[in-house]
Structure 1
Amino acid sequence: MHEGGNGGERRGEAQASPSGADQEYLSLERELTILFRRARANQGEMAREVHPDLESAAYGLLIRLDECGRQRATELAGYIGVGKATMSRQLRALEDLGLVAREPDPADGRAWLVHLTEEGRARVSKVRDARRGRYVSQLAHWDRREVSELARLLGQLNRVMER
């Protein structure tokens, strides 16, 4: 005999919404939506910190180049998920701002490699250091193991979403 209720839901079972989605997934969707909205807003702020004329979308390119070094425009376009024309326009704007430069690809004379200039690297590094400082400040009351676990779980989520 089932105690404590009308016998409909057993303890430990996920509660489904009218759409059939489990409450855990609805909560996940809500929290990710908030996180992504804040991340987009922060990306715009960080882009302006790098350079007042920098488009928000171009900030991700700078981070990718900072982390991975020289890349072909086609690799960057694939990573960011934009077309060649959009990538070309963004890279031209970054070149005009003095944040990136191009050089011939030694492996293929028809292709170009894009890289951060010294100015670009210095500006990106300054903004990233400040952002990390904000994370440290905002999460100072968290146990370092919790921060590590959050990073691990977000990494796992990112890997799943890449597939």
Structure 2
Amino acid sequence: MLAVGEPAPDFALPDQEGKVHRLSDYRGRWVVLYFYPKDDTPGCTKEACGFRDHMGSLVALGAVVLGVSADDVESHRRFAEKYGLNFPLLADPNKEAIAAYGAWGKKNLYGKEVEGVLRQTFLIDPEGRIAKVWRKVSPEGHALEVAEALKALRGA
């Protein structure tokens, strides 16, 4: 389980346009890396639209937002277009980054225990280290919560 202060695992994943993003591409910037279960589902849509709507304040704080799920590039493209998402959604169908960040595991879905992508967020500092982790995320208001934490960490 990744902890604050540890190096964030690098990855190379395509976004909704097919462009490959590596965590190392963002050295020198804050990165909001959030894992979510599935494109175009109620909670994931609420969370993604929250990041879309708070993008101005996150960018002003020097951060980029990267969403990751096990959905494919085409699913991400449809999801991003449908909701006007203004940040990369990274496709991880092989669950390599998802596993590296510990964002895969057992969860309850409609009263049944299933395995899947866990809704978690990692705030990564400009040196590539984990600065803050949210293990249990509530989609409602999460983007604002992340912006407030970033503001506090930056002393802004």
TM-score above 0.5, yes or no: no
Per chain length, whose mean CA-contact separation is higher, i.e. which structure has more relative contact order (CA < 8 Å, sep 6+)? 2
- Largest Rg, 1 or 2: 1
The two structures have a TM-score, normalised by structure 2, of 0.30
More strand by proportion, 1 or 2?
Answer: 2
The two structures have a TM-score, normalised by structure 1, of 0.30
